[in-house]
């Protein structure tokens, strides 16, 4: 399929124009202002000379261009014309179905293209560049902070062995955890991913709340905390808080700061690389104007440990709170259920499981997923995202049903995310009581079927708010 043919096939609907606009911006360096004119101008009026100059500038990417143009063409014929559950021409959004329609032949071909080595070599580095550009454009000192953390220790196998306590630990890690994640070929099992985890988190915050720039992450995480509070999140005095999938400890440190009466806050992560970096950050405790992207205050209650959240080894009924912040979408559905079962086991009666996550029933994510080309930009670095999108609603029902929690409450946290609290019963007979009264309360949508909060996220191709 030639470029001209692909562009001309995009003239059928506004939805198709959205797809080809992204392809044009990504592949030929056309500015958003220029591509914004595409729906209102006849496509043949585009100056051929401009296309040729841009193509010569990107000659070294010729093969990758062909691959992405094929993906764009497949996306045009595999995408639904009006995605269900997405606002269209000012009409309110109805709640979308839990599962999309089965993939057609074009969608299957698109999936094949996205999984090809050639496409991965192109898209994965681009995803990382987008994150770095977002950070730097919003005042987040990515490169400077990265250089600082690299200089703070001898990051080698001896340190890994010291942190994990087992020279053979990496051989015991579940297979699903070894897949490529977040533009890193070895996923979370490398130093680069550990160094950049908190930098990327700052950039994600800026993308979700672009009006706040560098402080976007504070607003983003604060939105989850506010939603959890509205659902009745509580931590008793001297309670133990456990943070599953803690990474380098960003979420763990926030839990400790927000709940000073907790006796201890234990972060557990499967990556010894992440735990090693997290411990070093706590040790160095850089200040607000220091070399790191956030201020880190030392807190003796915080302990970061290497381990599997599905099998922590903690005693039964020891914890008041278990938290999962942006972790479940990185797990296969069965592993997610195992992690929740472990949370139930270690919680005290009346204890709470908190889940903060992406919501694919939100119109913004439903629209994104309905467009295979746009969704591929995220899916390429998140191997279980499709499975998560298909299974998250079933997970809620599982928690409220046979998992054993006495009640489950869900609310919108942002225009694209939810917060959930699942409470363990006070006694075994609470399971029987909940079956009669109904255990799940879903507050994400209003009575008209509209999502409770507006979407503030940047468009896929943007790195900074145009309004700031």
pLDDT in tens, 256-309: 999 999 999 999 999 999 999 999 999 999 998 899 999 999 999 999 999 999
The predicted model gives 207-228 an average pLDDT of 94
Among 66-75, 116-125, 151-160, 237-246, which is the least confidently predicted range? Answer: 66-75
- Which is it for strands 264-269 and 302-306: parallel, antiparallel or unpaired? parallel
Q: What per-residue confidence (pLDDT) applies to 93?
A: 44
Among 87-96, 206-215, 443-452, which is the least confidently predicted range? Answer: 87-96
The predicted model gives 143-162 an average pLDDT of 96
How far is it, in rounded angstroms, from Cα 339 to Cα 201?
A: 23
Residue 57 has pLDDT above 80, yes or no: no
Residue 19 has pLDDT above 60, yes or no: no
Residue 26 has pLDDT above 60, yes or no: no
The predicted model gives 423-443 an average pLDDT of 69
One-letter-per-residue 3-state SS of the chain = CCHHHHHHHHHCCHHHHHHHHHHHHHHHCCCHHHHCCHHHCCHHHCCHHHHHHHHHHCHHHHHHHHHHHHHHHHHHHHCCCCCCCCCECCECCCCCCCCCCCCCHHHHHHHHHHHCHHHHHHHHHHHHHHHHHHHHHCCCCHHHHHHHHHCCCCCCHHHHHHHHCCCCHHHHCCHHHHCCECCECCCCCCHHHHHHHHHHHHHHHHHHCHHHHHHHHHHHHHHHHHHHHHCCCCCCCCCEEEEECCCCCHHHHHHHHHCCCCCEEEEEECCHHHHHHHHHHHHHCCCCCCCCCCCCCCCCCEEEEECECCECCCCCCCEEEEEEECCHHHCCHHHHHHHHHHHHHHEEEEEEEEEEEECCCCHHHHHHHHCHHHHHHHHCCCCCHHHHHHHHHHHHHHHHCCCCEEEEEEEECCCCEEEEEEEECCCCCHHHHHHHHCCEEECCECCCCCECCCCCCCCCCCCCCCCC
- pLDDT, tens digit, for every residue of 97-148? 444 555 556 556 666 666 667 556 776 677 778 888 889 988 999 999 999 9
The predicted model gives 200-225 an average pLDDT of 93
Among 203-212, 235-244, 262-271, 300-309, which is the least confidently predicted range? Answer: 203-212
- pLDDT, tens digit, for every residue of 396-416? 999 999 899 999 999 999 999
Confidence of residue 180 (pLDDT cuts 50, 70, 90): confident
Confidence of residue 331 (pLDDT cuts 50, 70, 90): very high
Question: Which residue has better confidence, 22 or 245?
Answer: 245
Question: Which residue has better confidence, 357 or 75?
Answer: 357
How far is it, in rounded angstroms, from Cα 227 to Cα 233?
A: 9
Residue 85 has pLDDT above 50, yes or no: no
Q: What per-residue confidence (pLDDT) applies to 172?
A: 93
- pLDDT, tens digit, for every residue of 35-53? 444 444 444 444 555 555 5
How far is it, in rounded angstroms, from Cα 33 to Cα 10?
A: 19
How far is it, in rounded angstroms, from Cα 321 to Cα 254?
A: 14
User: Alpha carbon of 68 to those of 62, 71, 159, 300, 384: distances in Å?
Assistant: 10, 5, 41, 50, 22
CB 136 within 8 A of CB 203: no
Residue 428 has pLDDT above 80, yes or no: no
Confidence of residue 433 (pLDDT cuts 50, 70, 90): very low
Confidence of residue 370 (pLDDT cuts 50, 70, 90): confident
How far is it, in rounded angstroms, from Cα 213 to Cα 251?
A: 20
How far is it, in rounded angstroms, from Cα 182 to Cα 381?
A: 5
Q: What per-residue confidence (pLDDT) applies to 442?
A: 97
How far is it, in rounded angstroms, from Cα 275 to Cα 283?
A: 12
Confidence of residue 454 (pLDDT cuts 50, 70, 90): very high
Question: Which residue has better confidence, 122 or 155?
Answer: 155
Confidence of residue 17 (pLDDT cuts 50, 70, 90): very low
The predicted model gives 337-357 an average pLDDT of 98
Residue found by looking up tokens 């000012």 in the block: 90
Confidence of residue 185 (pLDDT cuts 50, 70, 90): confident
Q: What per-residue confidence (pLDDT) applies to 8?
A: 37
Confidence of residue 246 (pLDDT cuts 50, 70, 90): very high
Q: What per-residue confidence (pLDDT) applies to 413?
A: 98
The predicted model gives 431-454 an average pLDDT of 79
Q: What per-residue confidence (pLDDT) applies to 2?
A: 41
Residue 182 has pLDDT above 80, yes or no: yes
Per cent of the chain over pLDDT 90 is 57
């Amino acid at each position: 399929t030639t470029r001209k043919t692909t562009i001309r096939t995009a003239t059928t609907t506004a939805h198709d124009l959205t797809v080809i606009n992204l392809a044009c911006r990504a592949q030929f360096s056309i500015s958003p202002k220029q591509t914004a004119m595409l729906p209102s101008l006849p496509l043949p009026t585009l100056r051929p000379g401009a296309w040729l100059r841009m193509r010569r500038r990107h000659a070294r990417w010729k093969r990758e261009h062909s691959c992405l143009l094929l993906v764009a063409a497949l996306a045009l014929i595999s995408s639904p014309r009006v995605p269900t559950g997405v606002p269209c021409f000012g009409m309110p959004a109805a709640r979308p179905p839990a599962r999309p329609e089965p993939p057609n032949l074009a969608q299957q071909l698109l999936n094949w293209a996205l999984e090809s080595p050639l496409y991965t070599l192109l898209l994965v580095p681009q995803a990382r560049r987008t994150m770095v550009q977002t950070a730097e454009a919003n005042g987040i000192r990515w490169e400077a902070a990265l250089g600082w953390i690299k200089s703070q220790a001898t990051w080698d196998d001896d340190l890994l062995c010291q942190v994990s306590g087992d020279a053979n630990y990496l051989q015991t890690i579940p297979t699903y955890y070894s897949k490529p994640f977040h533009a890193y070929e070895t996923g979370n099992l490398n130093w680069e991913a550990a160094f950049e985890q908190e930098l990327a988190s700052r950039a994600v915050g800026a993308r979700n709340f672009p009006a706040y720039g560098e402080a976007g992450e504070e607003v983003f995480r604060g939105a989850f905390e506010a939603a959890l509070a509205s659902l009745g999140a509580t931590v008793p005095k001297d309670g133990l808080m456990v943070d599953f999938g803690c990474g380098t400890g960003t979420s763990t440190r926030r839990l400790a700061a927000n709940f000073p009466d907790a006796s201890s806050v234990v972060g557990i992560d499967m990556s010894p690389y992440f735990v090693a970096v997290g411990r070093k950050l706590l040790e160095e405790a850089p200040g607000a104007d220091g070399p790191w992207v956030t201020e880190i205050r030392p807190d003796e209650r915080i302990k970061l440990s290497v381990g599997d959240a599905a099998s922590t080894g903690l005693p039964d009924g020891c914890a008041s709170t278990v938290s999962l912040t942006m972790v479940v979408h990185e797990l296969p559905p069965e592993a997610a259920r195992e992690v929740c079962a472990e949370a139930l086991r270690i919680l005290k009666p009346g204890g709470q499981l908190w889940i903060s996550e992406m919501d694919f029933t939100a119109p913004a994510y439903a629209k994104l997923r309905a467009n295979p080309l746009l969704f591929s930009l995220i899916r390429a670095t998140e191997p279980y995202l499709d499975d998560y999108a298909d299974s998250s609603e079933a997970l809620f029902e599982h928690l409220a049903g046979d998992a054993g929690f006495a009640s489950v409450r869900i609310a919108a946290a942002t225009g694209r995310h939810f917060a959930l609290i699942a409470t363990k019963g006070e006694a075994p007979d609470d399971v029987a009581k909940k079956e009669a009264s109904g255990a799940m309360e879903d507050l994400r949508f209003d009575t008209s079927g509209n999502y409770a909060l507006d979407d503030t996220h940047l468009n896929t191709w943007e790195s900074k708010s145009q309004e700031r």
